[in-house]
Amino acid sequence: MVVNFGVVLYNASMAKKISKKVLRYNAVFDPAEEGGFVVTVPKLPGVVTEGDTFEEAVKMAKDAIEGYLAVLIEDGESIPEPDEKSFTTPIDIQFPATI
């Protein structure tokens, strides 16, 4: 399962005037053997998290993405282009049972 996240970035030093930008990244949710979900974000290498429920996994993924982007900004690195137009969806294909 893939979910798009809109991540909000803002400049905390601008106490009276806060500028926000929504960035959207695709996240892949794979069921974990022990239950719950393992979440990866293809555009953000190394971002891997998990949650015992789908809702918890979404929350954890948002937190991981925000943390990853904050570190990039702090280190003066560029932020990967968001997935603004692309998305994924599962497609089921039926094959003969003998394959």
d(CA 85, CA 89): 13
Q: What integer is the mean pLDDT of 15-19?
A: 65
Q: Residue 90 — very low, low, confident or very high, per pLDDT cuts 50/70/90?
A: confident
Residue 89: its pLDDT value, please? 85
Cα–Cα distance, 46 to 18 (Å, whole number): 29
Which domains, ranges and CATH numbers included, belong to the chain?
Answer: 2-8+19-74 (3.30.160.250)
- Lateral strand order in the sheet of 2-10: 2-10, 20-31, 37-40, 48-51
At residue 86, the pLDDT reads: 85
Q: What is the pLDDT of residues 30-55, one digit of tens each?
A: 999 999 999 999 999 999 999 999 99
